Structure 1
Amino acid sequence: ALLSRKATGRPRTLTPAQERQVFVWVNGKNPRQYGFDFGLWTRLIVCELIEQKFGARLSLASVGTLLARLGLTPQKPLQQAYQRDPVAVERWQRETFPAISRQAKREKAEIYFWDESGFRADAVQGRTWGVKGVTPVVPVPGQRQSISAASAVNSKGGFWFAVYSGGLNGGKFVELLRQMMKGPRRPVHLVLDGLPAHKARDVRDYVDSLKGKLTLHFLPGYAPDLNPDELVWSYTKRTGVARSPLRSGEKLADRIHAQLSDIKLRPDLVRSFFGHPSVAYSSD
């Protein structure tokens, strides 16, 4: 009778089945589906929902412990355009792209994903330490610079890029396509978004002039996450100027060109972009 035993502790308010139901409520859904006027989950909203459904009142601390036990953590949500068509996205992944892949294999062609992005030299500063009441001063480049870049990636590690000034129109897009098509000897199926410049008359005329050597395929609207080339820009911006601001006299175009050149020399890195869950459908 004197042997020590592990204390059982206070019994849980919710049954295991009720806890599993809480997970179902939160996972992949939002509070508006349950009559709340706020679109993000908070401990207070979960607490109120539990009281509504089960008649049990939990403290905020208990709700936090429950969510952690269920494997749910507070996270910053990704933004997604409400115009996005889930049916079109699923059709692209299950039907359209597999058909493109089969066609490319029959033609012994290569599939590339294309995208453009803009860069600015504004230094993004985090936090630093200093004397209380005396704000530290960090020297940054006074001249703002901006540059644009385009790139195309292949699941086998192929990578092409170009750095250019100004915006993109049909004429500039054709100029970039001409540069890209100087390299590949095999036909190219190019997947890209539906930007108006990508569908301009000049572009259609140029593609027709290649007599099947280049074919354009357009992603569903408002679905940039389906494009592996988006991950190139995410990587470049995360590891570039944001982490190491330009030095005095350094040109932004030179920095971006050097970064993209480094990516081109690392086919393993390029292939890794295709391993992201949102673009796994496009990997071989």
Structure 2
Amino acid sequence: MTPLVAHTWGRRGHTPVVRGRSWRRWSIAAMCCYKPGGTSRLIYRPRRHRKHREGRNSFAWSDYRDLVVRAHIQFGTPIVLIWDNLNTHRAAGMREYAAAHDWLTIVQLPSYAPDLNPVEGIWSLLWRSPLANVAFTDDEHLERTLRRGMRRIQLQPDLIDGCLTGTRLTPSQRPRTPRRDQ
């Protein structure tokens, strides 16, 4: 993962170049969790992928399912999941899992609507402070910085609330979902 570069410099007449190894990749799945009257929480799971090894290069629907189950166990209440249109979010396995569990309701955001997704605010916070302008020395340095940044956000519920406020929703509002008998 190449960090977002906010500022750079180079010798006069030479274009600065940021180089990295293309076989490394990180994915992060995160959920902003809100319970009316409770403290906002951030649940996340980072994963390192290596292209040269066998396996997926991203999260599978089952990984997202496990994250949702983790949130359900932590909160002990039904989950209303508001998701963007990532293909793994719309996978048949995920739809079947949601249909089989009455504690899970999935609401799909419209296409190209990042302003309605609170997690986009989390990514913005992460890219602007701990990951900006860092040349990582190795995978462990990146992982430490990434986890430290996510933990910093996780420990400040006001930051998570700000991400929800940016969507113009409040924890007491419930999204309207179509009835299944229609």
- Identify whether the pair has TM-score above 0.5, normalized to the shorter chain: yes
- Aligned equivalent of 2:30: 151
Query: Alpha-carbon deviation of 1:171?
Result: 2.9
Residue 154 of structure 1 contacts residue 271 of structure 1 at CA under 8 Å; is this kept in 2? no
1:154-190: per-residue Cα shift (whole Å, max 9, x none)? Answer: 3552211111242233333223333333312111111
1:175-218: per-residue Cα shift (whole Å, max 9, x none)? Answer: 333333331211111111133322222213322343x2221111
**In structure 1, the residue corresponding to 2:169 is in which secondary structure?**
helix
Report 1:1-284 matches (<5 A).
Answer: 120-122=1-3, 124=5, 126-128=7-9, 135=14, 142-144=20-22, 145-155=24-34, 156-165=39-48, 166-210=57-101, 212-248=102-138, 250-276=140-166, 279-282=167-170, 284=172
1:115-167: per-residue Cα shift (whole Å, max 9, x none)? Answer: xxxxx13573734375x56x5989x7754532011111135522111112422
CA distance in 2, matches of 1:222, 1:190: 18
CA distance in 2, matches of 1:254, 1:214: 33
Distance 1:122 1:185, change over 3 A: closer
Distance 1:146 1:196, change over 3 A: closer
CA distance in 2, matches of 1:162, 1:137: 33
Query: Alpha-carbon deviation of 1:239?
Result: 1.4
Question: What root-mean-square deviation, in Å, do the aligned CA atoms of Structure 1 and Structure 2 show?
Answer: 2.9
**In structure 1, the residue corresponding to 2:111 is in which secondary structure?**
coil
Could you say which structure has the greater relative contact order, defined with CA pairs below 8 angstroms and 6 or more residues apart?
Answer: 2
Query: Alpha-carbon deviation of 1:269?
Result: 1.2
Query: Whose helix fraction is larger, Structure 1's or Structure 2's?
Result: 1
**In structure 1, the residue corresponding to 2:30 is in which secondary structure?**
strand
**In structure 2, the residue corresponding to 1:186 is in which secondary structure?**
coil
CA distance in 2, matches of 1:195, 1:142: 26
Distance 1:209 1:143, change over 3 A: same
Partner amino acid, structure 2, of 1:152: M
Residue 83 of structure 2 contacts residue 117 of structure 2 at CA under 8 Å; is this kept in 1? yes
**In structure 1, the residue corresponding to 2:81 is in which secondary structure?**
strand
Distance 1:176 1:146, change over 3 A: same
Query: Alpha-carbon deviation of 1:226?
Result: 0.9
Query: Alpha-carbon deviation of 1:283?
Result: 5.5
What is the percentage of aligned positions where both structures have the same residue?
25
| Runs of 5+ consecutive residues of structure 1 not aligned to the other structure | 1-119
Query: Alpha-carbon deviation of 1:220?
Result: 1.6
CA distance in 1, matches of 2:10, 2:97: 56
1:73-115: per-residue Cα shift (whole Å, max 9, x none)? Answer: xxxxxxxxxxxxxxxxxxxxxxxxxxxxxxxxxxxxxxxxxxx
Query: Alpha-carbon deviation of 1:266?
Result: 0.8
**In structure 1, the residue corresponding to 2:7 is in which secondary structure?**
coil
CA distance in 2, matches of 1:223, 1:193: 8
Partner amino acid, structure 1, of 2:45: A
Q: TM-score, normalised by structure 1?
A: 0.48
| Runs of 5+ consecutive residues of structure 2 not aligned to the other structure | 49-56, 173-182
Q: Could you say which structure has the larger radius of gyration?
A: 1
